[in-house]
Amino acid sequence: MRLKDKVAVITGASRGIGRGIAELFAAEGAKIAAVYRGSQAAAEEMVAGITAKGGVAKAFQADVSDLAQVKALFETIESEVGPVDILVNNAGIIHDDLFVRMDPADWAKVIQTNLFGTYNCCHQVGFPMMRRRSGRIINISSVAAEFVNMGQTNYAASKGAINSFTMALAVELAPRGVTVNAIAPGFIETDMSAPVRNKAGDAIQKMIPLKRLGKPEDIANVALFLASAAGGYMTGQVLTVDGGLSLGPVVSK
């Protein structure tokens, strides 16, 4: 077991990529603090599934965009599960619209959740991890930070900032043995990508050199590498996991 008895906080663990990471980390022996915002039933069901397989997991409700809630959340996790060894900042949202039409509230909501949510959680674990001279932080970014889509100025800005934040934080925490990395997924089959998948159909698969969409497990496996001893000499990196999508259009001969 690669994460035996490590306490792992995973935000947005009720569904999609976060759920995939929580289930894999639990199977590798981690004690999971699964954070959700509104999907209590889904989070409880996920936790019950882990427990039924002999794993350790507990669900916690909090809105990561709210610093006061996040402070209370980490105090509760520390007392009920233990000091945090691994933090996965996965919670994220989209509110797409063309820039000139975008409601300022949608701009703010996306930045507040994706970027400030990541900051809020890192802020709770940074000092304790430095003091213990160990820790892993994994931020879930997106290829959309660099390979931009129409209607995603808010989302691209939030994920681009997460990439820069990851590098800058890595430099500050590295001398104390704490690593900070990001994963930039491409199209992954989750609720978030459903509207685009439904609209574009097979066209998306054709754009991806590996000719399939990603699954939450594809991201979870890379997160496991970064969280485990195997990833111990990597920090400040943004790992793209997209089936080759970001290589750009491929011209066949």
Ligand X SMILES: NC(=O)c1ccc[n+]([C@@H]2O[C@H](COP(=O)([O-])OP(=O)(O)OC[C@H]3O[C@@H](n4cnc5c(N)ncnc54)[C@H](OP(=O)(O)O)[C@@H]3O)[C@@H](O)[C@H]2O)c1
Known catalytic residues? 155
Nearer to ligand X, 134 or 153 (CB): 153
The minimum distance between CB 232 and ligand X, in angstroms, equals 24
What residues make contact with ligand X under the rule CB under 6 A?
11-12, 14-18, 35-39, 63-65, 90-93, 113, 117, 140, 142, 185, 187-188, 190-193
Residue 203 contacts by C-beta under 8 Å, 6 or more apart in sequence? none
Q: Report residue 141 CA to chain centroid gap.
A: 7
Q: How far apart are CA 168 and CA 163, in angstroms?
A: 9
What strand order describes the sheet that includes 238-241? 56-61, 31-36, 7-11, 86-89, 135-140, 178-185, 238-241
The minimum distance between CB 42 and ligand X, in angstroms, equals 6
Closest CA to 113 of 63, 181, 43, 186: 63
Nearer to ligand X, 30 or 121 (CB): 121
The minimum distance between CB 149 and ligand X, in angstroms, equals 11
Nearer to ligand X, 14 or 153 (CB): 14
Nearer to ligand X, 117 or 126 (CB): 117
The minimum distance between CB 188 and ligand X, in angstroms, equals 4
Q: Which runs of E-coded beta strand occur in the chain?
A: 7-11, 31-36, 56-61, 86-89, 135-140, 178-185, 238-241
